[in-house]
Amino acid sequence: MKNTYLLKSEQAEKIYEKICSLPIVDYHCHLSPKEIYEDKPFDNIGEMWLAGDHYKWRLMRTAGIDEKYITGNASWKEKFLKYAKALEFAAGNPLYHWSHMELSMFFGIDTPLKSDNAAEIYDEANAYIAKNKLSPRKLIEQSDVEVICTTDDITDDLSYHKLISEDKSFKTKVLPSFRTDNLLLIKRDGYGDYIKKLSEVSGIAISTLADLKTAVKNRLDFFCECGCKFTDVGIPYFPNSIADDDKANQVFADALHGKEIDDGAYRGFIGNMYLFLAEEYYKRNLVMQMHLAVYRNANSALFRSAGADCGADCVGDEISGTELIKLLDAINENSGMPKTILYTLNPGNAAQIASVAGAFPNVRCGAAWWFCDHKRGIKEEIEIIAENSSLGSFLGMLTDSRSFLSYARHDYFRRILSDILGDWVKGGEYDEESAEKLAAKISYYNVKELTDK
C-alpha cells in the first residue's frame, strides 16, 4: 500500500504525516473482552476475517456465494477463497479498501487479493501469523490503541474487564460501555426472563417501573466502578412521546405478563426511559450515544437459521426530526443534557440531525456509521458537520467492529480527513497550520479528552 493512498495533494500528505502515528482511542466497538484477556494466538486468516464479520458475510451473499461458505460448516480456507472471489469484483465497496489495507498493514502483503492468488495469500498470511504468534493483544499493541470501549449488556458481570485491568503488562485500557437495547426491547420474546436476570445481578426484585429504574441505577454504578465512560442504544424504534410514570408502569407490567403492547404505548415507554436514563448519565458524567434509523433482522428466514448480527440488518427510515427535537428538549429541561453523540444510519436526514444537534449543549454528530462508513459517506459526514456545526468538536473514527484487524479503518479515516483538509488548504479555503491542528484534534485529542475525564 503506497503511503500516498487516498491522498491527492501535497497538502494532504503533509497533514496526514502529522496524524498518521497518533494513538487510537476506539470509543465504540464490539470486540470481545474475553478474547482480549485470553489472548489466544490466531490459527489462520480465514477465522480472523470471517468468524464474526457480518460486513463480509453480507458481501459474500450479494455476490451469490452459498451460505455454506458464509455461516455454514465449510473450512476456513474454503471460506477465505470464496471471500476472495467476492472481493475481487467489489470495486468501490469499503471492504475492498479495508481488506487490502489489513493485508498490507498487518501481514506486509501488498498484492491485490483475487481468486487466482487467494490460496497463495492464505498460506502466506498463515505463515506470518504462526511466525509472529499474532494474537488479539499483539494486534492491539501494534495498532497503538490506548483505549477500547467495548459494548456490554447492562447485566454483564464485566469479569473480563476486571481481569484485564489487573494485568499491568497490558497497557491498553479496556472499558465497558452501558448498552440498553435489551432493557428497552420489551416486546421481544423472553423479555420476562431478561428482567429476572437483571433482578439477580442487581439484587433488586423487579415488578414495577420504579423497581426497574432502581435496578438500572444499581447497574450504572457498577459499570462506573469498572471504568465506564460511554453508554449506547441502537434499537430500531424512537419515541414519539414521553409517557408519564403511571402509563409507563402499566406498559412495563403488560410486558412482564406477556401481553400485547401497541406501538404508541411502547414508544411512549421508551420516551419515559430515555428521559430517565439521560438524567442518570448526566449525574455520572457519562457520554450518551444514540444510534438511529436502523432496521434489524430484515430476513426472517436468515435470522431463524443464523441468528442476529448475521448481515441482514438494513438502513432504516429517517427518524422524525421533530420527535428528536422534542426528546432532546425534554432531556435538557429535565436534567440538563449529558454529553451526547448522535449517529444516523440513514444519510437522508444527516444534515437535519446536525442542525438539531447545534440547538442543544453537549450534543455532537457521530462518525459515519455502518452502511455509511465508506469513502463517500465519511467525506459527506465530515462536510455536513463542517457546514452545520464545528468540525473542531468532531470525535473522529471508531471501528464498530468485532475484528482485531479493523484498526486499519482509523488509518482509512485519517487519510480521507487529510485529503479533505488538504483540498481546502490547496484551494485557499483554510490555512495549513490550523488544518494540521484540526486533523489531530479530530483523530485523537477530542475523544482522548472524553475518556480521560
> Domains plus CATH for the chain?
10-41+135-452 (3.20.20.140), 42-134 (1.10.2020.10)
For the segment 96-120, the average pLDDT, to the nearest whole number, is 97
DSSP-based three-state secondary structure for 236: coil
**Model confidence band, residue 348 (pLDDT cutoffs 50, 70, 90):** very high
For the segment 141-164, the average pLDDT, to the nearest whole number, is 98
| Residue pair 227/175 in contact by the 8 Å Cβ criterion | yes
Q: Return d(Cα 233, Cα 288) in angstroms, integer.
A: 8
For the segment 96-100, the average pLDDT, to the nearest whole number, is 98
Element (H, E) at 434: helix 432-440
Is residue 133 over pLDDT 90? yes
Look at residue 350 in the predicted model and tell me its pLDDT: 97
**Model confidence band, residue 233 (pLDDT cutoffs 50, 70, 90):** very high
Q: Are strands 145-149 and 177-179 parallel, antiparallel or unpaired?
A: unpaired
| Residue pair 48/403 in contact by the 8 Å Cβ criterion | yes
Q: Over the chain, what is the mean pLDDT?
A: 97
pLDDT tens digits for 171-198?
999 999 999 999 999 999 999 999 999 9
DSSP-based three-state secondary structure for 148: strand
Look at residue 145 in the predicted model and tell me its pLDDT: 98
User: How far out from the chain centre does Cα 448 lie?
Assistant: 17
Look at residue 33 in the predicted model and tell me its pLDDT: 98
Q: Return d(Cα 446, Cα 154) in angstroms, integer.
A: 26
Please, which residues have CB within 8 angstroms of residue 397's CB and are 6 or more apart in sequence? 367, 409, 410, 412, 413, 414, 443
Is residue 118 over pLDDT 90? yes
Q: Return d(Cα 424, Cα 441) in angstroms, integer.
A: 17
Look at residue 122 in the predicted model and tell me its pLDDT: 98
Look at residue 453 in the predicted model and tell me its pLDDT: 75
pLDDT tens digits for 53-65?
999 999 999 999 9
| Residue pair 363/388 in contact by the 8 Å Cβ criterion | no
For the segment 82-101, the average pLDDT, to the nearest whole number, is 98
Amino acid 325 reads I
Look at residue 2 in the predicted model and tell me its pLDDT: 80
Look at residue 311 in the predicted model and tell me its pLDDT: 93
Q: Which of 403, 390, 395 is nearest to 447 (CA)?
A: 395
For the segment 396-421, the average pLDDT, to the nearest whole number, is 97
For the segment 233-239, the average pLDDT, to the nearest whole number, is 97
pLDDT tens digits for 415-433?
999 999 999 999 999 999 9
Q: Which of 295, 372, 288 is nearest to 336 (CA)?
A: 288
pTM (predicted TM-score): 0.97
Bridge partners for 295 per DSSP: 314
For the segment 146-166, the average pLDDT, to the nearest whole number, is 98
| Residue pair 402/121 in contact by the 8 Å Cβ criterion | no
pLDDT tens digits for 294-334?
999 999 999 999 999 999 999 999 999 999 999 999 999 99
**Model confidence band, residue 387 (pLDDT cutoffs 50, 70, 90):** very high
Q: Determine what percent of the chain is predicted with pLDDT higher than 70.
A: 100
**Backbone φ/ψ region at 63: left (φ over 0), alpha (ψ -120 to 50), beta:** alpha
Q: Are strands 363-365 and 340-344 parallel, antiparallel or unpaired?
A: parallel
